[in-house]
């Protein structure tokens, strides 16, 4: 847990806390134990190049941290969330009400591998149509069988690939995007090779945006943006240094993580 998710109250209903993102502009109900949003979804939302009345899909939205950060920054954007875990999807729906954005945020319980063709009746019409301007996603970081699996079911699903591996997530994004739509993903820097291999043939205009823990340190996370059907060569950008010498956020990082500004690249 980090400074941008500040505990407001003791756990309620046994295992749920209400936390804050973007310096209090976003309220987030999330599990007290297991997977908890830190800065990755905030950065993901800031990097998603949506505008005006665009339609955005948060693929694997969890409790909706990225969804509600994007909704707070862009009041005109319509957002769909797709989440396979019932408890997380329920929290995301409650968070839509809590943040006053239920009119333009709809959460669907469903599997990315089955979207959009085999989603339950009553699913978001935008999701069933599968023609989003942008998809943003923070998929599980670890390949199946290559990490110590958490004993908490929700955290295990969020952190480690199961039946839906990285190829499945990228293929789902390709099916759900409109022509020339963009995919924005945050992932581990050491999986860039895997990601680029799976983008090839479907996506182009790939942009790599490293996230440096501090100046001179090796990047641990990277934001990757790509455009469906594009053929433009890839670009490697300077990226963002998160922490300064004293351990606090750099001004550039603070403007995103607390100020709610976009990552322009």
pLDDT digits (tens, 9 = 90+) for 69-89: 999 999 999 999 999 999 999
Has residue 262 been placed in a domain? Answer: no
What Å distances lie between residue 62 and 27, 53, 58, CA to CA? Answer: 14, 23, 9
Whole-angstrom Cα distance, residue 45 to residue 70? 5
Residues forming beta bridges with residue 79, ordered by sequence position? 56, 105
Give the model's pLDDT for residue 146: 53
Query: Are the CB atoms for 107 and 66 separated by under 8 Å?
Result: no
Contact 66, 58 (CB under 8 A): yes
The reply to whether 11 falls in a domain is no
Q: Rounded to an integer, what distance in angstroms lies between the CA atom of residue 257 and that of residue 250?
A: 10
- Alpha-helix residue ranges (DSSP H) falling in 177-264: 192-199, 251-257
Task: Return d(Cα 159, Cα 176) in angstroms, integer.
Answer: 23
**Cβ density class 164-185: b for 16+ within 10 Å, e for less:** bbbebbbbbbbebbbeebbbbb
What's the mean pLDDT in 96-122? 92
Is residue 137 included in any domain, yes or no? yes
pLDDT at 183: 98
Containing structural domain, residue 188: 16-257
Mean pLDDT computed over 52-58: 95
Strand partners, 137: 59, 185
Tell me whether residue 6 is in a domain: no
Q: What is the CATH number of the domain that holds 190?
A: 3.40.50.150
Residue 156 pLDDT greater than 70, yes or no: no
The confidence score (pLDDT) of residue 56 equals 98
Task: Quote the pTM value.
Answer: 0.87
> Is residue 1 situated within a structural domain?
no
Q: Strand 235-236 and strand 203-214: pairing?
A: parallel
Mean pLDDT over the full length of the chain? 89
Residue 139 included in any domain: yes
User: Is there a domain that residue 265 lies in?
Assistant: no
Number of domains within the chain = 1
pLDDT confidence band for 143 (50 / 70 / 90): confident
User: Is residue 9 predicted with pLDDT exceeding 50?
Assistant: no
Query: Cβ distance 61 to 105 under 8 Å?
Result: no
Contact assessment for residue 155 and residue 35, using Cβ atoms and an 8 Å cutoff: yes
Residue where the block lists tokens 């069988």: 145
8 within some domain: no
Task: Decide if 224 contacts 197 (C-beta within 8 A).
Answer: no
Percent of the chain past pLDDT 90, that is, above it, reads 78
Token digits for 129?
């149509």
Please state whether beta strands 221-228 and 203-214 pair in parallel, antiparallel, or not at all (unpaired): antiparallel
């Amino acid at each position: 847990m980090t400074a941008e998710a500040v505990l407001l109250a003791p756990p309620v209903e046994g295992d749920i806390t209400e936390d804050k993102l973007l310096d209090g502009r976003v309220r987030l109900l999330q599990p007290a134990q297991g997977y908890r949003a830190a800065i990755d979804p905030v950065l993901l939302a800031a990097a998603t190049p949506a505008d005006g009345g665009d339609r955005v899909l948060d693929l694997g939205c969890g409790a909706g941290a990225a969804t509600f950060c994007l909704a707070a920054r862009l009041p005109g954007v319509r957002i769909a969330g797709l989440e396979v875990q019932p408890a997380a999807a329920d929290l995301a729906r409650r968070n839509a009400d809590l943040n006053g954005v239920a009119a333009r945020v709809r959460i669907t319980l469903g599997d990315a591998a089955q979207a959009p063709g085999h989603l339950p009746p009553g699913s978001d019409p935008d999701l069933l149509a599968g023609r989003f301007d942008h998809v943003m996603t923070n998929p599980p970081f670890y390949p199946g069988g290559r990490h110590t699996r958490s004993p908490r079911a929700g955290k295990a699903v969020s952190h480690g690939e199961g039946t839906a591996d990285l190829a499945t997530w990228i293929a789902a994004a390709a099916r759900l995007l409109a022509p020339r739509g963009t995919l924005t993903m945050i992932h581990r820097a050491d999986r860039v090779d895997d990601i680029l291999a799976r983008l090839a043939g479907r996506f182009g205009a790939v942009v790599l945006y490293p996230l440096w823990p501090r100046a001179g340190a090796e990047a641990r996370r990277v934001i990757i943006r790509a455009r469906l059907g594009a053929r433009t060569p890839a670009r490697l950008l300077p990226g963002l240094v998160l922490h300064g010498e004293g351990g606090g956020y750099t001004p550039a990082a603070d403007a995103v993580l607390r100020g709610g500004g976009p990552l322009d690249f």
